[in-house]
Structure formats: C-alpha cells, structure tokens
Amino acid sequence: MRILTCLLLGISLVQAELVFEKEHLELSPKPDAESVTATFAFKYTGERPINVQEVDANCGCISATSDKDRYVKGDSGKITFVFELASKEGKQSNLVWMTYTEEAVGGKKPAAKKDLGPSGEDPNTLVTSKTKSLNVDIDIPIIVNVEPKMTTWEVGSKPEPREVKVTMAHLTPIRITEVKSSREDVKAELKTVKDGESYIITLTPSSTEKKRLGMLTIVTDSKATRHKKKLGFFSIASELPKEASGEPVIPPTREALRR
C-alpha cells in the first residue's frame, strides 16, 4: 500500500509540474484566413528548473515554439503554434508536444537533445526527459465545395457526361475563371448556374475502353490564395468506387495520374 501511495504521489507531482490553462483547443478560422495562430498558456510549479529540449507537432503544416528555453518554479510560459491552412478543409485534429528535462541539483548544464541516452535520459542530470502533449482541433470552413470529389465511369460503359457541382459559401461572390482536365480524352465544360455562387462542370470522356485516372483543376478569382485553385478527380475503372460504398474517397497520387 505504501509503495502504491508513493507511485501515485510521483505521478501526481509529474502532472502538476506544468499546469496549463487549457490542454485542448478548438478553433474556427475565418473563411479567408491563410493560417491560424493560438497559444497554450501554462505555469511551471516544479521544484527544479526545466530546460526545453523540443517543441513539435504531428503535422508539417504546424510550427510550434515555446516562449523560453528554461523555466523555474513560478514562471508563466506559453507554447505558440501556427497552422498553415493551405488546401485543408473540414475538421482537423492535431497533436502538439513539449519535451523537457530537469536541471541537476548541482547546476550542471543539461545535455543537448542529440546527446540524450536511448531512453531519453540526460547523462548530466540523470533525469529522464518528459513530454507534455496537447490537442488542437481546427474546423476549417469549406468555401469552395466540389461535389463529387471523384467522378467515375465503369470500363466499357457508355461514355456519358457526368456533372460536378461547385458551390461558393462566401459573402463575397467567388467566380470560376477556368476549368481544365488533365486528360485530353476527358473534356471539361463549365456552366454558370448563379454567378459567383454555383456552377456545373460537365466531364465527358471520348471513350471508356481503357482504365484512366485524371484530375480536374478549378481556378477561381478568390482573393484568398487557398481558394484560388481547387481540385477534383475522375477515373474510368472496373471496380466500384469507394464513394459508392460509403467509404471516403482518397485522391489518387501524382504517379497514378501520370499513367
């Protein structure tokens, strides 16, 4: 019982070292935003000073930094992250973390990250590195919506036209200025339903005798860079598309599109 109490006390002390105002953030960027910035504020309550070894995230679209490299008891701090929206849409869940080590009692300088042992131990401090993880959920509004994302024909079927609907969810009109098919044998034609709000793109293959993968490029006059170009995809395939089976459509790779 005494051992269990000591273990629980030790876990509690580790968790209490970094006290965050919030460990989970939910963000909703503005429609025209190119990036979103937010911070995790915290207070350090541990007895021994700590040195930050790394601040990172699970996505290359995020840059994360701490405001200082060293914190002592009573210090306030923050982790700032910047999420580049680029072409991302909808709900995005991400992880941000800070790895740190405690300073030695004698004041020895902590080892650099590259000099840490295989289990994260610092040979100068004899203290295992610790990591604090934080969650960020970002709901990115879909301003230029393309449906369906993947247009399909079955191999050997009649090469009938297929429609792709594009709608704009924005207070300011966004117009399509150009549509282009990556395949010469699949024609793309644009029709305006309501200027600045809704459009129909008709895709028509010259033949469905061979398997094909292609990309539809939609160019707009949006002032926001990330809404200037949207992509759709099309295929001539012998298998049922995932979209028809209720599974999400995964865009083809660039290598597949070149075939």
Residue 221: pLDDT over 50: yes
- Residue 10 in domain: no
Mean pLDDT for all residues in the chain: 85
CATH of the domain at 213: 2.60.40.10
Distance (Å, whole) CA 193 – CA 93: 35
- Of 122, 140, 158, the position where a domain reaches its end is 140
- Of 117, 140, 163, the position where a domain reaches its end is 140
Mark whether 131 and 149 lie in a shared domain: no
Mark whether 23 and 133 lie in a shared domain: yes
Q: Read off the amino acid at residue 237.
A: A
50-64 mean pLDDT: 94
Cα angle 143, 148, 149; round to 5: 75
- Of 111, 140, 169, the position where a domain reaches its end is 140
Residue 163: pLDDT over 60: yes
Residue 177: pLDDT over 50: yes
Residue 258: pLDDT over 70: no
State residue 102's pLDDT score: 84
Q: Indicate the Cα dihedral angle 69, 72, 77, 79, nearest 10°.
A: 40
Tokens describing residue 21: 């105002």
3 state DSSP class of 137: strand
- Is the previous residue joined to 148 through a cis bond, with omega within 30 degrees of 0? yes
Q: In whole angstroms, what separates CA 239 from the centre of its chain? A: 30
Residues with Cβ < 8 Å from 11, sequence gap 6 or more?
A: none
Residue 187: pLDDT over 60: yes
Which residues, listed in sequence order, are joined to residue 199 by a DSSP beta bridge? 166, 192
- Domain range for residue 214? 144-258
Q: Indicate the Cα dihedral angle 63, 67, 73, 76, nearest 10°.
A: -100
The pLDDT tens digits for 11-25 are 334 444 899 999 999
Mark whether 89 and 113 lie in a shared domain: yes
Percent of the chain with pLDDT over 70: 76
Mark whether 165 and 229 lie in a shared domain: yes
Distance (Å, whole) CA 133 – CA 232: 36
Residue 38: pLDDT over 60: yes
The pLDDT tens digits for 138-150 are 999 999 999 999 9
- Residue 230 in domain: yes
Mark whether 119 and 150 lie in a shared domain: no
10 compared with 259, residue with greater pLDDT: 259
Rounded to a whole number of angstroms, the CA Rg of the chain reads 26
Mark whether 40 and 113 lie in a shared domain: yes
- Residue 2 in domain: no
State residue 144's pLDDT score: 96
Residue 257: pLDDT over 70: no
Residue 250: pLDDT over 90: no
Mark whether 133 and 169 lie in a shared domain: no
Distance (Å, whole) CA 78 – CA 39: 6
Of the candidates 117, 114, 206, the one whose C-alpha atom is nearest the C-alpha of residue 158 is 206
Number of domains in the chain: 2
- Residue 23 in domain: yes
168-185 mean pLDDT: 95
Mark whether 183 and 210 lie in a shared domain: yes
145 compared with 238, residue with greater pLDDT: 145
